[in-house]
Structure 1
Amino acid sequence: MSPRWKPNPEVRTGRHVVHTLHAHLVFITKYRHGALTDPMLIRCEQIMRDVCADFEAELHAFNGEDDHVHLLIHYPPKVALSKLVNSLKGVSARILRKEFNAHVRTHTSGDHFWSGSYFATSVGEAPLTALKQYIEQQKQPT
């Protein structure tokens, strides 16, 4: 017997919770010096997908320009968003610095890759497709 409704794949279930939490995050490079190149953005997305997986979260959309990145993340309620952000920024900065050292040194100063601040907003069901489209249409550097 088939159900009368189709389950929403965005709704997750846990032992004691049913949830669909999404966050739109924006990280800006320190001093906005245009530190990101297209190969760096590709690698950054891979790194951030791995970090999200470690937190049992999903990176639904990722894109950026030469001085910032946008992320659309689906995360469980047990994850403190601030801890996820700290890990995303810390791990990506460490790996990007290591793998793109010469470029990073010429476009940043000091020990910081990302700005200490970030933008975060919760996302409801209605604007998810519009937000995903917005992120996908960001102009990538050449």
Structure 2
Amino acid sequence: MKYNLEKGSHTVYALQYHFVTVTKYRSDILIDEIAERLGEIASDIAADFNVNIQNVNGGSDHVHILFTAEPTTELTKFINSLKGVSSRKIRDEYPETRQALDDAFWQPGYFLATTGQVSIDVLMDYVEDQ
């Protein structure tokens, strides 16, 4: 099996994640300049957590973020910071979003999944052969 590996002082790892969150009321807010600004904010926050954003994309009412992280990354703190800071900054920089969304920018929940570099079937076969 071939992985794209990262290295720490005592670890070798490949931790990749797919994060999705939705705007409050599924409002069509993430368009043009606001969507671009969200990507910039996400990258700034990621740097504070030693997270590497691979891609940011989505629709007008949701965002998908692919990122890699270290084994010591506190994912819930990163995600809460990402949602909280982006909400505050976008609502401050684009006052029109406050009218559409009242007191919150994002829905309370989110989706987070690990993404593998190989399929689960390949991994199962590999482990079986060991």
CA distance in 2, matches of 1:32, 1:82: 22
Please state if 1:106 is matched with 2:104.
no
Cα distance, 1:117 vs. partner? 0.1
- Alignment identity in percent? 38
Paired residues of 1:28 and 1:69 also in contact (CA < 8 A): yes
CA distance in 1, matches of 2:40, 2:55: 12
In the other structure, the counterpart of 2:110 is: 118
In the other structure, the counterpart of 1:89 is: 83
Cα distance, 1:92 vs. partner? 0.6
CA distance in 2, matches of 1:33, 1:50: 24
The residue matched to 2:9 in structure 1 has which SS?
Answer: coil
One-letter code aligned to 1:59: I
One-letter code aligned to 1:69: V
CA distance in 2, matches of 1:42, 1:84: 20
CA distance in 2, matches of 1:85, 1:105: 21
Cα distance, 1:78 vs. partner? 0.6
Cα distance, 1:35 vs. partner? 2.0
The residue matched to 1:116 in structure 2 has which SS?
Answer: coil
Paired residues of 1:93 and 1:114 also in contact (CA < 8 A): yes
CA distance in 2, matches of 1:101, 1:73: 29
TM-score by length of 1: 0.78
Paired residues of 1:35 and 1:108 also in contact (CA < 8 A): no
| RMSD of Structure 2 on Structure 1 (CA) | 1.5
